[in-house]
Amino acid sequence: MVVGNMMRLFGLLGLGAFFANPVQAQPAADFYRGKILEILAGFPTGGGYDAYARALATAIGKHIPGNPSVVVRNMTGAGSLRLAIYLQDAAPRDGLSFGIFDNGLLIAPLLKPDTVKFNPSKLSWLGSASKDIQVCSIWHKSDVQTLQDLKTKSATFGVTGLEDIRYMNTALLRHVAGANIKIVSGYPGSTDIRLAMETGELDGVCDSWQSLKATKAEWLAEKKIRILAQMAPAPHKDLPDVPLIGAFADPATQARALAILLSPTHVGRSFAAPPGVPADRLAVLRHAFMESMKDKDFLNLTEKSRLEVDAMQGQEVEDFLALIYAASTEDVATARKLVE
């Protein structure tokens, strides 16, 4: 019932299309020729967000008139909130920079409007490279190995910031599944959290399944982690036997709130430019982004890196955000309680 309600909410999203046309492309060619296009990643190297940014950098310049050079720069801090606010408030509006940051920040302003001074609807969305299914997992040497264990024993989970997707999903595991978890924040990124698990500093993490497959395949092969739950509206094809968080929720009171909290999985690895990018350049960037999603160099690298590709256009991301932000006050209030 809970999963069905969430999927019906997601199903309201209409699919849009937005492509550059030859009239728009010519002045953009004059602008981009000889320039450097900068892709900003909100986390350090070694994690999934950085991996998607670097994969995109191999292809997107070829699909922009004028063929600008492309570089990737990591702008870390506050669980990538630093980058999100930079794009919103300070980045040049000329179409020469865009970035990728924690998808939990897409709904953080709904949950913490007094403290998160960020509005994702202001940004110019290029598109999403993939959905992002989150899972909560525990280290194999931990005293805790099942969700049932977490009813009577405690575990320590790591997060980057108190607005990131890891925090939201760890809080959900506490409030919806009744897990006894202590949350430790302040880790720069996935690499640091995973190292802390290996050294025994942390017991577990709620993290991206796609990222785990791409960057920690040896953990999975050697059964170094046990996956407790999927934080998603529907199961990933790789994880048919891992329970969904919705299985532990109250369908009468929590279904729509849970749909809000799990919505970042749908837009996943999304890239955004600052507000106010000239319309012709934004159209070119959106078109180049979607062309990159089927570019042989991009696909070769993502396949080699075990990165999933399930592209979504920029207008679709905007439409989906509008749907989520139209949620009722009551549903938003319930969502806030589930991640306190």
> Using one digit for the tens of pLDDT, what is the confidence trace for 48-61?
999 999 999 999 99
Domain ends where: 233, 262, 291? Answer: 262
- pLDDT of 133 above 90: yes
Rounded average pLDDT over 22-41: 82
- Residue 175 counted as domain residue: yes
Q: Mean pLDDT, to the nearest integer, of 212-216? A: 92
The span from the CA of 253 to the CA of 265, in Å, is: 21
Domain boundary among 243, 262, 281: 262
Domain final residue pick, 238, 262, 286: 262
* pLDDT of 20 above 80: no
- Paired with 116 in beta bridges are none
Q: How confident is the model at residue 29 (pLDDT cuts 50, 70, 90)?
A: confident
What is the total count of domains within the chain? 2
Q: How much is the pLDDT for 22?
A: 42
* Band of residue 340 on the pLDDT scale cut at 50, 70, 90: confident
Tokens representing 101 are: 């940051």
Residues 174, 117, single domain; the answer is: no
pLDDT of residue 8: 52
Least confident stretch, 14-28, 177-191, 229-243 = 14-28
Which H, E and C letters describe 150-173, residue by residue? HHHCCEEEECCCCCCHHHHHHHHH
Same domain, 252 and 284: no
Task: Kindly state whether residue 249 falls inside one of the protein's structural domains.
Answer: yes
Domain annotation covers residue 6: no
Both 236 and 316 in one domain: the answer is no
* Angle CA 99–105–107, to nearest 5: 130
Q: Looking at the structure, tell me whether residues 143 and 254 fall in a common domain.
A: yes
Same domain, 281 and 190: no
* Chain centroid offset of residue 163 CA: 12
Instruction: Quick: pLDDT tens for 73-113.
Output: 999 999 999 999 999 999 999 999 999 999 999 999 999 99
| CATH number of domain containing 212 | 3.40.190.10
Dump strand ranges (E) for 196-282: 204-208, 225-231, 270-273
Task: Looking at the structure, tell me whether residues 256 and 321 fall in a common domain.
Answer: no
The whole-number pLDDT of residue 28 equals 82
Q: Write out pLDDT tens, residues 285-321.
A: 999 999 999 999 999 999 999 999 999 999 999 999 9
CATH of the domain at 78: 3.40.190.150
What range defines the domain where residue 183 resides? 134-262
Residue 188 has pLDDT above 80, yes or no: yes
Report yes or no on 1 lying in a domain. Answer: no
Q: Are 115 and 53 in a shared domain?
A: yes
**Are 163 and 257 a contacting pair, CB within 8 Å?**
no
> What's the predicted TM-score (pTM) here?
0.88
C-alpha span between 240 and 236 (Å, rounded): 7
CA 218 – CA 206 distance, rounded (Å)? 18
